[in-house]
Amino acid sequence: MNRVVVTGVGVVSPIGSNHDAFWSALVEARSGIGPIEGIPTELFTTRIAAQVRDFDPSQHFDPKRLTLLDRFAQFAMVAARAAVADAQLELSEEMALQAAAIVGNAAGGQTTVDDGYYKVYGQKSPRLHPLTIPRLMSNAAVSQVSMDLGIKGPSFTVASACSSGTHAIGQAFQMVRSGQVPVALTGGTEACLTVGTIKCWEALRVLSADTCRPFSKTRSGLVLGEGAAMFVLETRERAMARGAPIYAELLGFGMSADADDITAINPDGAARAMRSALTDARINAEDVDYVNAHGTGTALNDKGETAALRIAFGASAERLAVSSSKGVLGHSLGAAGALEFAATALALHHQTIPPTANFEERDPDCDLDYVPNTARNAPIQNAMSSSFAFGGLNAVLVLGRA
């Protein structure tokens, strides 16, 4: 089987839309969470989110093209272009016929949905935009990416709630490793910060009113975010031959289903996905130096994830460095796993462990090394990135130093 490496990274995020800005904010624990802008908030009890505030679509798309694009598709296309440029990849016609595009997304075009419902129910309009369906469908992002870059090989969307981005990257990894495709463009995207979507999340009573504090005893819930991260995956042999930059090597992918609760994490199910990823990577638990955790900042997730790490890693959990990026990035649902995969790949590349931002007080139920508030320079040979979705759908990736 082929060895698979990451040669291109493209991000659109609340902390910057290039990976240098993204990485700087992560290691400095500079949070992208702040007051919600651009939409009415009078109906909200929670008025904070991690928004992409520096994104001007007119800088990336002409007016005619914009009529076709919901915000989540815009994010994916800009991140995809950046990843291809970063990888110094030339998509020749021959390559385009074989290349894959696989994108994770949980919610689809929520801006389009919200605007359409408001017109129908709020304004009593009998007509909607004629392109409403092509804008809101969950596969709109990957379809637009494939058209924008001319990718004509296997292309599809993966939808598994908060594990969508990780599942998509794992699927792309397997296709490149097996030789089904020579190169894949993959990642996740989400843009769901609308009135309707935020009210739906408020109804779950899991949103924080001030900020996200993963694994801290004072944690008060998650904070919604948005953004996209896309990657070029290709065989190590091909990347070396063309002198491409290599950020990390993808070693293994594990999946599981809890078959238990619709919202609460099951530690045994999460641990099975971790162990499966380690087995696939052909490494042992003690070989992992760093875990980028799902770490949502809710009482149940963080306690359950800590238990899962102890089950999966056993005695090796005591020496693990674990951090969550959601104190900086918020929780971008279908894009979360992709943005966190970017954080993990860059951690390996820079040999630096990004911290868990906003950490205030140790919780006896979360008793591992969560790298609180301050980044740590440390040798990282292997790292893990984990995603655990509502519905009990778990996905875990293992990466190695390039």
Looking at residue 54, its pLDDT comes to 87
Consecutive 10-residue averages of pLDDT for the chain (402 residues): 98 95 98 97 96 96 96 98 97 95 98 96 94 97 98 98 98 98 98 97 97 98 98 98 97 98 97 98 98 97 98 98 98 98 98 98 97 98 98 98 96
| Residue with the two structure tokens 């090989």 | 153
DSSP 285: G
What SS3 class is residue 383? strand
Distance of alpha carbon 206 from alpha carbon 194, whole angstroms: 17
Residues whose CB is less than 8 angstroms from the CB of residue 366 and which lie 6 or more positions away in sequence, other chains included: 215, 216, 217, 302, 303, 306
Three-state secondary-structure class, residue 387: strand
Listing DSSP states for 329-390 in one string gives H-B-GGGHHHHHHHHHHHHHHHTEEPPBTT--SBBTTB-SB--BSS-EE---SEEEEEEEET
Reported as a single tens digit per residue, the pLDDT across 26-83 is 999 999 999 999 999 999 999 999 999 989 999 999 999 999 999 999 999 999 999 9
For 253-401, CATH gives: 3.40.47.10
Domain with CATH 3.40.47.10 in the chain: 4-241, 253-401
Residue 45 to residues 36, 172, 188, 194, 199, Cα–Cα distance (Å): 12, 39, 28, 14, 9
Residues taking part in catalysis: 162, 294, 331
Residues 6+ apart with CB under 8 A from 92: none
DSSP summary character for residue 136: H
Q: Three-class SS of residue 66?
A: helix
User: Coil, strand or helix: which one is 251?
Assistant: strand
Query: What pLDDT score was predicted for residue 395?
Result: 98
- Tell me the β-bridge partners of 34: 49
The residue type of 73 is A
- Residue whose token pair is 């008060």: 220
Answer yes or no: pTM beyond 0.85. Answer: yes
Q: Which value, in Å, is the radius of gyration of the alpha carbons in the chain?
A: 20
383, 289 Cβ separation under 8 angstroms: yes
Please report the pLDDT score of residue 401 as a whole number: 98
Going through 144-273 in order, the beta strands assigned E by DSSP cover: 155-158, 183-190, 227-235, 248-257
> CA end-to-end span of the chain, whole Å?
17
Closest CA to 8 of 239, 290, 163: 239
pLDDT value at position 64?
94
**Residue 378: count of CB within 10 angstroms of its CB:** 13
The pLDDT value given to residue 246? 98
Backbone angles phi, psi at 365, to 5 degrees: -85, -10
4-241 maps to CATH 1.10.645.10: no
Instruction: Look up residue 20 and give its two tokens.
Output: 């240098």
Condensed to tens digits (0 to 9), the pLDDT of residues 344-371 reads 999 999 999 999 999 999 999 999 999 9
Q: State how far the alpha carbon of 373 is from the alpha carbons of 26, 30, 56, 85, 290, in Å.
A: 10, 10, 31, 32, 16
Predicted local distance difference test score (pLDDT) of residue 40 = 95
